[in-house]
Each structure stands twice: as C-alpha cells, then as structure tokens.
Homo-oligomer: A and B are copies of this chain.
C-alpha cells in the first residue's frame, strides 16, 4: 500500500467528513494499482477485497475522495480514471499494444506551455495527460 493511512484519515476529518471502513478500502484499492485505474477496475478490486461493499458506495466514495482532492480524476479514451493525488503533476505514456505505462515528468511540458502562453495568450491547465502510442518493445 503506497499511502500512509493516518494522513488520509486526517485529511478526510479535516474536510469535515468521517473515516469509514468503506472509504479505507476504496483508498487501498485505488493505491494498489500503483497507476491510474478506471472506476470499473477499482470496483472490481474493491469487491475482491470486500464483496459486501455496495457499488453505489464505491462510486460515491470515488467522487467524494476526488472532491476533497485525495484522488486525482481524469479522462482517458472516454473512461474516467482515478489515482492518488500527488503534489506535483505527472503524466503517462501508455502503449496501446501492450498496455505498458511509463511516467512523464511535468517538466517536459514546460516549453509547450510557455509557447502556448506567449503565442496564444492562453493559460493551459495541464494536470494529467495520458499520451498513447507505442513503447520501445512494441514498435
């Protein structure tokens, strides 16, 4: 498990909400992927761990955890994905053949962002991008 339980409990309480078994298990499930995961994947993982948790609760919890910024939520190929929020944004290179995922540091976008700012007077908000393509092994 890649998160420190106590921090998250505090974050939830500080936001004026309660810590519950269900929220703990959903958090554990999200972290267990060590990558972003779709709602369906998380739902499946949760049910493997605790079949009694209702699916409505999982959806509600994912929305809730995203609202208080414990999770980051984005969109890839029409699917909503979730992952543990990190202090600095990072992005992903996803191989469309083998599914391999690599991280891409935020800094790679610095020049592009600068160009968009100066040439287009547009302030881009690039929080989490997934770039699909072919990894080294699959080209």
* Residues on A facing B (Cβ under 8 Å): 75-80, 93, 95-96, 102, 104, 108-109, 111-112, 115-116, 120-126, 131-136, 139
Copies in the complex: 2
Complex Cα gap A111–B116 (Å): 13
Chain B residues closer than 8 Å to A102, beta-carbon distance: 120, 122
Complex Cα gap A79–B79 (Å): 9
- CB of A139 within 8 A of CB of B124, answer no
The dominant DSSP class at the A interface is: mixed
- Closest-CB distance, A61 to chain B (whole angstroms): 19
Chain B residues closer than 8 Å to A112, beta-carbon distance: 108-109, 111-112
- CB of B120 within 8 A of CB of A104, answer yes
